[in-house]
Structure 1
Amino acid sequence: MKAWTVKQPGGRDQLVQEERPVPTPGENEILIEVKAAGINRTDILTRENKGLSKPYPILGVEVSGVVKEAAASHPELKPGTRVTGLVNRGGYAEYVTMPADRAMVLPDAISFEEAAGISEVFLTAYQTLYWLGELKEKESVLIHAGGSGVGTAAIQLARQLSDAHIFTTAGKAEKLRTTKKLGADVAINYKEEQFEERVLEATDGRGVNVILDFVGASYWEKNMKSAAIDARWVLIGTLGGTTVDQVSLLQLMQKRLSLKGTLLTPRSDAYKAELTQEFSEKAMPLFEDGRLKPIIHSVVPFDNLQEAHRQMEDNENTGKIILNVSDEMKRPGKG
């Protein structure tokens, strides 16, 4: 089968397509014929990881496709079943194995390319909003990087599941328009405005209950000002740096803040399975009637992976970048 790996860890010029054997599913795993794969920042971090050892792994953690070999433990996932979900690498390939308890069955209304934009961003958004951020009905939330894949997913979940009061930030007018269409109440251009001032003005000085922070160090003081008493602050990215020069523990104590950091990819199989199952029950039905939808920025041919990585590294995308692994990504009956 065709698969993407690296010649050596480094830039996107190190990406290389190779012939690899079709993987053999282990116990409680299914084999998937991949139709589409989502591009994620974790793929870029893996590509650049100097700690990788040979043979270098096939990249990709998120796929949609068709079950080719079933698992005895999950007879409902019979061959031919349309599924999507997270894999332990190997997604940029024509075939991949997936733990059966991590597969989400696709409604017919969702195409393969749309499905490849669900797992990583919506599961991350659900985890950060509800498992870590403990967002409650009608609370307020500040979602940074609102035009990103996780950002667009988080806005929709906060609107549909919690009817939250949603603040979001982005640096481009197009991204801000998208966030408003998805349900954001206040969309702030961080290049033109001080987001903490807008937050405090709109909340009568109280601040927000939950912060989803993709930025890190450069937003530390502004997030601190934006946080309400007893706020939950979830750190899920460090686009603005990893080191804060001075941290006032007294500020954290005075506001009684809960600060949590997380990465989804390194989590255990059991954690991802539990998260997938809860998300499937509470949120997956909302894709069928259109209340939730993956936002697709572009669909890139399988042979042009470097371009897909370029779009992400240049922060060009609003929503997901999808790798077209097969030409059969359309909805059933749509050609």
Structure 2
Amino acid sequence: MKVIEIEGGSGPADALRIGERTDPRAGPGEIRIRVRAAGVNRPDLLQRIGAYPPPPGASDILGLEVAGEIDQIGEGVSRWSVGDRVCALLGGGGYAEYAVVDARHALPLPDDLDFVQAAALPETLFTVFANVFEGGRLSAGETLLIHGATSGIGVMAIQMAKAAGARVIATSRGAAKAKAALALGADVSLDATDGDLARGIADAGGADVILDMVGAAYAGLNLDALKPFGRWVVIATLTGGLSQVELGKVMMKQATLTGSTLRRRPADEKARLAAAVEARAWPWVVSGQVRPPIDATFPLDEAGPAHLRLEAGEHVGKIILTV
């Protein structure tokens, strides 16, 4: 099968090349997917430069989410059949013509959902659900503050929060992105490059839950933005992971600071999460309430330009490889 290989260097133009691997086979409890589309995510960029190695036992091929048809069933799998249309969360291996995955980590596609849209779902939907709804305990009527609101994670968080009956304050860099976040459903959308961001959040009423992908640079701002009993959830540290916070404010607000990663969770935990997503969030996908915008698509052999698009930071929504 054709795959994308990392062949030295750190820039996408010189590091990503088409290669060939032996077709994988579905083992016990696994399914093999004929990949039609694969999502491109920031962890892929980190893995490419050697900063985010795959967990033990995972494929060294890039790619954490795919959509396609099942073409092989492993021993002990009873839910799925050959030909079923699915999307799946992977520990790696998505940038390829075939991917093998734990059968419990796949979800069935609605008839009206194409493979490109479906490939935009697993990594972001699972991440938002685990962090905003489980870790952050967001409820209807509460306010979610999303930093980086036009990223793949951000647009998913806007749609899922609105589907759950929450209010959304979005922050992003530039007037065009702020406008895009508003069009996606944010109740308040702030340009982080224009004016006093902390004041804008305060004027919007503050937040019960914060989804933070920025890290150190926004630590003080986030603590100030939290309402009493607020939950601040960290899922990335793009401006660094070391910061100082006023512990007195944490105590006075009875605030919770938490965070998580997804890729290194054990298979059983991912299976639990997949079941929870299917029960509580997948109905929003089936109904059409959650359909993340696609910023751009690239054929598999143009994975390098796809990485460049993501690195540039001008995208709104997901970037997808088609296979």
Structure-2-length-normalised TM-score = 0.94
The 8 Å contact of residues 67 and 83 in structure 1, kept in 2 or not, is answered as yes
Please state how far the C-alpha of 1:50 moved relative to its aligned partner: 5.7
Deviations 1:162-183 (A, max 9, x none): x112101011333222222222
1:135 aligns with 2:134: no
Correspondences of 1:275-314 after superposition (within 5 Å): 275-314=273-312
Q: Which residue matches 2:217?
A: 218
Q: Which residue matches 1:195?
A: 197
- Distance of 1:194 and 1:130 partners within structure 2: 29
Runs of 4+ in 1 over 4 A off after TM superposition: 50-53
1:44 aligns with 2:45: yes
Alignment-mate amino acid for residue 286 of structure 1: W
Deviations 1:65-119 (A, max 9, x none): 1101113433231100000011120100000101000110111100000000011
Q: Which residue matches 1:329?
A: none
Alignment-mate amino acid for residue 183 of structure 2: K
1:101 aligns with 2:104: yes
- Consecutive unaligned residues of structure 2, counting only runs of 5 or more, are none
1:66 aligns with 2:81: no
The 8 Å contact of residues 115 and 294 in structure 1, kept in 2 or not, is answered as no
- Distance of 2:76 and 2:142 partners within structure 1: 40
- Distance of 1:32 and 1:108 partners within structure 2: 17
1:33 aligns with 2:31: no
Alignment-mate amino acid for residue 22 of structure 2: P
Alignment-mate amino acid for residue 10 of structure 2: G
The 8 Å contact of residues 71 and 77 in structure 1, kept in 2 or not, is answered as no
Alignment-mate amino acid for residue 120 of structure 1: E
1:11 aligns with 2:14: no
Q: Which residue matches 1:180?
A: 182
Matching residue within 65, 78, 83 for 1:80: 83
Alignment-mate amino acid for residue 195 of structure 1: L
- Distance of 1:200 and 1:87 partners within structure 2: 39
Alignment-mate amino acid for residue 158 of structure 2: I
Alignment-mate amino acid for residue 5 of structure 2: T
- 1:51 and 1:313, CA in 2 relative to 1: closer, same or farther beyond 3 A? closer
The 8 Å contact of residues 131 and 259 in structure 2, kept in 1 or not, is answered as no
Correspondences of 1:89-128 after superposition (within 5 Å): 89-128=92-131
Secondary structure, aligned partner of 2:296: strand
Alignment-mate amino acid for residue 215 of structure 1: V
* Number of equivalenced pairs: 319
Secondary structure, aligned partner of 2:189: strand
Matching residue within 147, 171, 174 for 2:173: 171
Secondary structure, aligned partner of 1:240: coil
Secondary structure, aligned partner of 1:107: coil
Secondary structure, aligned partner of 1:275: helix
Q: Which residue matches 1:261?
A: 259
RMSD (Å) for aligned C-alpha atoms: 1.8
- 1:301 and 1:196, CA in 2 relative to 1: closer, same or farther beyond 3 A? same
